[in-house]
Structure 1
């Protein structure tokens, strides 16, 4: 598929006859039409205004006509021109359709970095662009009902075999977007204020079963050892050692591994909870990290990232590619390392709150109030016991 078709003037006919392209750009106005991968509810794409590399969503077609998109883009451009210091994300605080509500919500979490981590923002953006806009984007913002959500989102996603957990995330994202729009006063009332997944179905969402039991750890290490790529093996080892998330692991840079102070610092923008996370390094983990560093230097890899991308070593490996490499040929996924670590800690009487701190789970307001003391040594002791067990079953041989 060709990437972009440039036209002097965008029209309905152009959109209907240019499906072989990914997007259509209108010269001089900044208006871009981008096709959906698959048409949903007669909507085949969305209009955007591109302003200084920022993409501002205008609406979905054909619910929004070309003329309406062009007029709205002109209004936003004029607002930005008159207010040079106004962020593009705030140039259009209007909510006529569901698209506007969703766009506003996305703007709100992108503007305030403390609200959401980068990975969570990416996930929300994907849910909005791939699921919500194609299915309910064209509806009037204040006319949306639970029945419409059921028919357009739940039924559609069930027919296309999406996991219940992903449908739940989609519904919760829509509900959050409406709560935000209501708080900001861009809609007078919230028509889906009571919306929740349990209203759409009585089916209970069950957690995915753990693919690595604690007694199967040795078999898992054998599977890791068989992986040909040293980066993949080390990613598995790090997630197993610390119970870290995939996105936290792939983003590790050498500057955040502080050997002298024996700690690994994870930036708040790299965590799911959007809070800085510090993990103590045990002597065993330091030995493994140093060995990996030496092995990587033999391949002339001296970049800033522990797991650089193959095509662009200045960037970290992508989460999607890393996930695929980790699970390739194995029954386990990246998240199973985190699950089995937590299970072993529980079985070996590691304090519950220490386990929660190591995993960097979100804390309740009460926990935040009472868990403000330094628990570094308790966390280090817990990890030392865990690492000693992993060494006893051969984790060092995986490199």
Structure 2
């Protein structure tokens, strides 16, 4: 009877492993050139594990075929050093930084908790900056000097320091996640900080819209509501509530409760991933009633406040184009948000209420101590803000009806004082008619 052979000394290669996988009496393979390197077959003999035998202790390096023979042999000196330093022997299945980044890019693309904008931004950073500069770099080659010469210093020559910081943070996050999941044995980015490379402060861009410009701004929005009501309302809602462009462009009529005077923004539409509720003032409610009539008069009875031609909500690019038209290079959508937040502060609105309205991320303790009357306090704040906007011309917008907005493709001409009085008299009856016709969705 032939004795069972447990360990066989061979010149290890992937092909040698595949040949011996067909021999059930062989359990282990030992490399003739590297006696401390062992391979052990698993029950499924197409797979197995790599080990380093040191001082009679077996240290697992990784699995086969995730790690090829070539990868293990190449990393063997580094593995010996880690074992000697009592840092473990586990070796990643990746050999280059590009492989780790490709894994993380796919992970981001499939993460339902990330917004589409963040996914696209992350994918762009990896494709345009990280892979071209670090893709071929071995994982073991990541250090401060290499990052400085190959990534950080070249990037700061051509793009803003804010964006350079974002690229660095994405790289650090990818390594941190891989290490947390045990996909790499050590994290070379753990002790590397952004200020190792640059002491430049990330700037806070000042708003290009100031309180003194509100009257001119509203005058421009009045013209926009006449020429293109969709453009005008998109900007107006952001000015009135300080919402983000992504939160606003995706608004649906089912999110608007005119009866309860509330605008609900679902969590999947917010940057913070938390649902957001905003009170609707009487002024905004009138504008929405008129706007819905405009949509219906043009044959649209769909679900979106801002539909695109394909029947979906305006895309990010289409919404940005609205502000290219409205701002004419002087201001952007985010400047409306900044203007609202600054306006609330100037009116003396409580800081916490302002932060809740703007939907900034709030700490856990703050959320715990928020009282139940927060909606009424937010309503009071918006009523103050919209009353202030009324003094700057907002009243000329919400006192006009949908019929008047939709009658002409030209900008509305409002005669000072006289026209305002006429509008006020004629709208009272029309608003009540709107309410009757819209009762199904009020």
For normalisation by structure 2, the TM-score amounts to 0.64
Report the secondary structure of 1:265's partner residue: strand
Report the secondary structure of 2:141's partner residue: coil
Match of 1:322 in 2: 319
353-362 or 120-129: bigger deviation: 120-129
1:334/1:183 Cα in 2 relative to 1: closer, same or farther (>3 Å)? Answer: same
1:264/1:142 Cα in 2 relative to 1: closer, same or farther (>3 Å)? Answer: farther
1:96/1:369 Cα in 2 relative to 1: closer, same or farther (>3 Å)? Answer: farther
Q: Which runs of 5+ in 2 are unaligned?
A: 1-64, 67-91, 398-404, 406-442
Report the secondary structure of 1:261's partner residue: coil
Report the secondary structure of 1:393's partner residue: helix
Map Cα deviations across residues 1-34 of structure 1 (whole Å, 9 max, x no partner).
Answer: xxxxxxxxxxxxxxxxxxxxxxxxxxxxxxxxxx
1:142/1:354 Cα in 2 relative to 1: closer, same or farther (>3 Å)? Answer: farther
Match of 1:150 in 2: 148
Match of 2:139 in 1: 141
Asked whether the 8 Å contact 1:266–1:276 carries over to 2, the reply is yes
Match of 2:281 in 1: 282
Counterparts of 2:355 and 2:93 in 1: how far apart (Å)? 41
Asked whether the 8 Å contact 1:118–1:270 carries over to 2, the reply is no
1:153/1:385 Cα in 2 relative to 1: closer, same or farther (>3 Å)? Answer: same
Q: After TM superposition, give the deviation of residue 112 of structure 1 in Å.
A: 4.8
1:223/1:168 Cα in 2 relative to 1: closer, same or farther (>3 Å)? Answer: farther
Matches within 5 A, 1:307-386: 307-310=306-309, 312=310, 314-328=311-325, 329-371=328-370, 373-386=372-385
2:125 aligned with 1:132: no
Q: Which has the larger radius of gyration?
A: 2
Counterparts of 2:346 and 2:110 in 1: how far apart (Å)? 42
Match of 1:86 in 2: none
Q: What is the RMSD of the two structures over their aligned residues, measured on CA atoms? A: 2.3
Matches within 5 A, 1:203-214: 203-214=200-211
1:149/1:344 Cα in 2 relative to 1: closer, same or farther (>3 Å)? Answer: same
Counterparts of 1:261 and 1:157 in 2: how far apart (Å)? 51
1:346/1:94 Cα in 2 relative to 1: closer, same or farther (>3 Å)? Answer: farther
Q: After TM superposition, give the deviation of residue 178 of structure 1 in Å.
A: 1.3
Report the secondary structure of 2:260's partner residue: coil
Q: After TM superposition, give the deviation of residue 291 of structure 1 in Å.
A: 1.1
Q: After TM superposition, give the deviation of residue 102 of structure 1 in Å.
A: 2.7
Counterparts of 2:308 and 2:128 in 1: how far apart (Å)? 26
Asked whether the 8 Å contact 1:119–1:272 carries over to 2, the reply is no
Match of 1:258 in 2: 257
Match of 2:51 in 1: none
2:164 aligned with 1:174: no
2:65 aligned with 1:97: no
2:194 aligned with 1:197: yes
Q: After TM superposition, give the deviation of residue 94 of structure 1 in Å.
A: 4.9
Report the secondary structure of 1:361's partner residue: coil
233-242 or 326-335: bigger deviation: 326-335
Matches within 5 A, 1:15-164: 94-114=93-113, 116-160=114-158, 162-164=159-161
Map Cα deviations across residues 291-342 of structure 1 (whole Å, 9 max, x no partner).
Answer: 11112222222221111113x1x11111122113213314110001110111
For normalisation by structure 1, the TM-score amounts to 0.71
Asked whether the 8 Å contact 1:142–1:189 carries over to 2, the reply is no
Map Cα deviations across residues 71-99 of structure 1 (whole Å, 9 max, x no partner).
Answer: 99xxxxxxxxxxxxxxxxxxxx9543223
Q: After TM superposition, give the deviation of residue 394 of structure 1 in Å.
A: 1.6
1:153/1:324 Cα in 2 relative to 1: closer, same or farther (>3 Å)? Answer: farther
Counterparts of 1:206 and 1:231 in 2: how far apart (Å)? 33
Report the secondary structure of 2:182's partner residue: coil
Counterparts of 1:345 and 1:255 in 2: how far apart (Å)? 28
Equivalenced residue count is 305
